[in-house]
Structure 1
Amino acid sequence: MTGPELAVDLVNLAGGPDWSVERVLHILDEHQIRKTSSLTANSAERLRQWALMLRKAFDATDAEGLCRAINSLLEAGTSRAYLSTHDGLQPHLHWAPEEEDVVARVKAVTAGGLALFTVESAGKRIGACTRQGCETVFVDTSRNGRRSYCSAKCGNYDAVQRHRQGAPSK
């Protein structure tokens, strides 16, 4: 699940005021992205631009739009898929050659990861918070797959607002 979760973290970081090389490095380290020592201010900015492109997948309103957005990401971010068993790991997919720079590898793993997650989730578990004013994106790993808020806090806030306005509950 590295690809989708990394995509979420990059998109959410890019949507806020805290984008920096240090914050990006922290996210890459959390997702065990290797060879990040080459990350510069320029490459971090390239990743921020990529995160803005990733956002389109989370904002898609139907399966066709989601597929279109992810196909664009795959075209821009991957070269070819191949299996690897490096570092004693079980066979797993890579979406870019190991010798590529960190930006190319992040683009590949997020595009490929979102594509696989979309297939496995029937295109229904990638989204953006529906609370007005919240820009947070998420991948839904809940049991029922019906998540529409980024957190319980946003869901509760929305429920309180609907109650105060006398609107019916969702």
Structure 2
Amino acid sequence: MTGPLLASQLVNLAADGRWTAESAQVVLVEHQIRRAALTETAAELLQAWAVRLRSAFDAANVESRCAAINELLIEGTTRAYLTTHDQLRPHLHFSPEEDDVVARVKAVTAGGLAIFAVESEGGRLGVCARASCGIAFVDTSRNGLRAYCSARCGNNDAVRRYREQSG
């Protein structure tokens, strides 16, 4: 689940204007990306990638989401292989371990989004339905029908709709 969650956090960091090499590095460390040190150049490349990742969350339907993820896979991955590094259980990598941090983040986000899309039948990625929000999210709810990034946004939108109807 690292790939889609990392992707959503990078998308949101790039969208809200808080992107710095330091803030991006914090996100990478939170998601256990090894050798996560970012130069300014690497941070800029990663920010451009985060902007590209948004297409997977913005997609209007399964077909366009698959097309967006396929584009990310073309740019972000080299080959898939199983590994058990650091005494972890077997898991997939989508780029060589010796690649730089930007290449590895591209690979883990593109590959992770692809696996998640398969498991969720192309759904469960979205952008908050509250017009003034726009936060990208991964829907891990039981029913998979989440439309808002948080209960707070859902409640605020419900209050807005109620006021419009009664006003």
Regarding TM over 0.5, the answer is: yes
Counterpart code for 1:23 = S
Unaligned runs of 5+ in 2: none
Q: In structure 1, how many angstroms separate the alpha carbons of the residues matched to 2:122 and 2:17? A: 30
The residue matched to 1:36 in structure 2 has which SS? coil
Which residue does the alignment assign to 1:137?
Answer: 136
Deviation at 1:16, TM superposition (A): 1.1
Structure 1 length normalisation: TM-score? 0.96
Q: In structure 1, how many angstroms separate the alpha carbons of the residues matched to 2:115 and 2:69? A: 10
Q: Deviations over 1:53-81 (max 9, x none)?
A: 00011000000100000000000000000
Q: In structure 1, how many angstroms separate the alpha carbons of the residues matched to 2:102 and 2:58? A: 23
Q: In structure 2, how many angstroms separate the alpha carbons of the residues matched to 1:6 and 1:22? A: 16
The residue matched to 1:107 in structure 2 has which SS? helix
Which residue does the alignment assign to 1:151?
Answer: 150
Q: 1:90-129 residue pairs with structure 2 within 5 A?
A: 90-129=89-128
Aligned residues: 166
Q: Deviations over 1:112-133 (max 9, x none)?
A: 0000000000111000001112
Deviation at 1:102, TM superposition (A): 0.1
Q: In structure 2, how many angstroms separate the alpha carbons of the residues matched to 1:36 and 1:28? A: 6
Which residue does the alignment assign to 1:26?
Answer: 26
Unaligned runs of 5+ in 1: none
Structure 2 length normalisation: TM-score? 0.98
Q: Deviations over 1:124-144 (max 9, x none)?
A: 100000111211000000001
Counterpart code for 1:111 = A
Q: Deviations over 1:77-128 (max 9, x none)?
A: 0000000011111111001000000000000000000000000001110000
Counterpart code for 2:124 = R
Counterpart code for 1:41 = E
Which residue does the alignment assign to 2:8?
Answer: 8
Q: In structure 1, how many angstroms separate the alpha carbons of the residues matched to 2:88 and 2:47? A: 30
Counterpart code for 2:112 = G
Q: In structure 1, how many angstroms separate the alpha carbons of the residues matched to 2:161 and 2:88? A: 49
Calculate percent identity across the aligned residue pairs.
Answer: 61
Which residue does the alignment assign to 1:165?
Answer: 164
Q: In structure 1, how many angstroms separate the alpha carbons of the residues matched to 2:131 and 2:27? A: 26
Deviation at 1:11, TM superposition (A): 0.1
Runs of 4+ with >4 A deviation: none
The residue matched to 2:161 in structure 1 has which SS? helix
- C-alpha RMSD of matched pairs (Å): 0.8
Which residue does the alignment assign to 1:36?
Answer: 36
